[in-house]
Structure 1
Amino acid sequence: MNNRTANCVTTTNMIRIKQTASALVIGLTALTTHAAEPLYQTNFEKTELGEVPNDFLVLDGDFAVKQEGGNKYLELPGAPLDSFGFMFGPSARHGNEISARMFGTKKGRRYPVFGVALNGVNGYRLQVAPAKRVIELLKGSTVVVKVPFRWGGGEWLRLSLQVHQTGDAEWTISGRVWADGKKAPAKPTITHKEAKAPRNGKPSIWGSPYSGTPIRYDDIVVKKIAK
């Protein structure tokens, strides 16, 4: 084989290697993009005013989509003063994260209570309780841990909750709460560990309009926890 032929073969092989590498990169990118896609999401833009998304299971409460400034959101009325919620999305035991934006206002010394939950009605709930000046993590109706938190109302908050297996017989439930428009905290706001496997159940969102004013919800997302 002369030098010219050898050079041609080498060039051809290099082209094939680059094409193969490019194909692998594209394939891996596609897989990564697919894996990063939410399991469930809604911003209510496709839902008619006065309605709720068809895939919501409203447990109680007159939830309805409203609009302000061109933005749609879900609203829970300020009355009656009770606890209300709805379920949606895929069931899971662990490995998922739910996040959402929430807005409420105070009236005198009264504040709303709102939160996100995983693992069904009696699962784990991350709850903002401004009147108590705390963030609570509940298992069913029992508060298992709480941390100090102050919120004056009248601004959107972001909440996220995840249940993750961190050992052979250990599950970590962690939540984050931060002001909308700010960067999410690097470390969880609140954390709890369980030795018993979580039950299978759907994500849910809750609210108690104890201030007598509406609670708003937007940008609900359920996704796999990044590894």
Structure 2
Amino acid sequence: MKTSLFVLCLLAELAAPAAAAAVPLFEENFAQVPPGKPPTNFMVVDGGFTVREESSQRFLELPGNPLENYGVLFGPPAASNVCVEARIWGESTGRRHPMFAVGLGGIGGLKLWVAPGREQLELHLGERMLVTRPLAWKSGAWAHLKLRYVQTPQGMMRAEGKMWLEGEVEPAEWTLGAELKQPPPAGRASVWGAPVSGKPIRFDDLRLTAINVP
């Protein structure tokens, strides 16, 4: 099933105009990774991340405590014209909700945060929030996150992100975006989690692609 997901994503990208063509740089769906420590090509920034299996599906899991922001870096370092995506699962406890993100440009780079407690999808650069949009998120459902950073030969720099739930069709348009006055730092892609609800956060189908910009 996971292999089919990657095939469908790749076919969709190949069918897109040449200006938006994408070249895979990194993919991991954990199907061939044994339960236990993350693969050696992952760099754990902090947190007790482990590969777990449930209902014959494997994924990277962040435990529900202690409460802090934790992240994992993956893929080759990249400066611009890249897109990162992942599926992320979280569950609320009463009025406490998890927070999670995908990122580009290492620890201090761009991040697309799902913040159910604030009912917002948020685009950050380092510690600075760039733009927000209202969020439609469902506890206990897998969410797809996608973030890209594009720099054209004409000097335009733009970050864009989108989120949709499992079973929904990927939105054709980017949900939110911001023009950048200076480039984010070069660095690896990432996923992040803050287990505010006290429940684990799960990550799967990580992917990094290079975008060809005319």
Shorter-chain TM-score tier: 0.7 to 0.9
Structure 1 segments of 4+ aligned residues over 6 angstroms from their partners = none
3-state SS of the aligned residue for 1:62?
Answer: coil
Q: Corresponding residue for 2:30?
A: 44
Q: With CA pairs under 8 Å and 6+ residues apart, which has the higher RCO, 1 or 2?
A: 2
Number of residue pairs matched by the alignment: 194
CA shift, 1:37, in A, is: 4.8
- What amino acid is the match of 1:125? K
Q: Corresponding residue for 1:223?
A: 209
1:168-213 deviation line (CA, Å, top 9, x unaligned): 3321100010012221101101101112123211111100000000
1:38-72 deviation line (CA, Å, top 9, x unaligned): 10010111211122111000010000011111110
- What amino acid is the match of 1:107? T
CA shift, 1:120, in A, is: 1.2
1:95 is matched with which residue: 61, 67, 81?
81
3-state SS of the aligned residue for 1:85?
Answer: strand
1:169·1:197 contact (CA, 8 Å) conserved in 2? no
The separation in 1 between residues aligned to 2:155 and 2:211, in whole angstroms, is 19
- What amino acid is the match of 2:53? Q
2:93·2:198 contact (CA, 8 Å) conserved in 1? yes
Identity %: 39
Q: Corresponding residue for 2:70?
A: 84
Higher fraction of strand: 2
Q: Corresponding residue for 1:203?
A: 189
2:46·2:70 contact (CA, 8 Å) conserved in 1? yes
1:169·1:195 contact (CA, 8 Å) conserved in 2? no
Question: Comparing 198-207 with 105-114, which one deviates more in the overlay?
Answer: 198-207
1:52·1:63 contact (CA, 8 Å) conserved in 2? yes
Q: Corresponding residue for 2:154?
A: 168
The separation in 2 between residues aligned to 1:167 and 1:36, in whole angstroms, is 17
The separation in 1 between residues aligned to 2:59 and 2:30, in whole angstroms, is 6
Higher fraction of helix: 1
The separation in 2 between residues aligned to 1:124 and 1:37, in whole angstroms, is 20
Question: Comparing 36-45 with 98-107, which one deviates more in the overlay?
Answer: 36-45
Q: Compute the TM-score of the two structures, normalised by the length of structure 1.
A: 0.82
Please give the residue correspondences for 1:26-41 in structure 2 after superposition, counting only pairs within 5 Å: 37-41=23-27
The separation in 2 between residues aligned to 1:128 and 1:36, in whole angstroms, is 25
CA shift, 1:226, in A, is: 5.3
Please give the residue correspondences for 1:104-119 in structure 2 after superposition, counting only pairs within 5 Å: 104-119=90-105
3-state SS of the aligned residue for 1:197?
Answer: coil
Structure 2: where are the runs of 5+ without partners? 1-17
Q: Compute the TM-score of the two structures, normalised by the length of structure 2.
A: 0.86
Structure 1: where are the runs of 5+ without partners? 1-31
1:103-138 deviation line (CA, Å, top 9, x unaligned): 000000000000000011111000000010000001
Q: Corresponding residue for 2:167?
A: 181
1:112·1:129 contact (CA, 8 Å) conserved in 2? yes
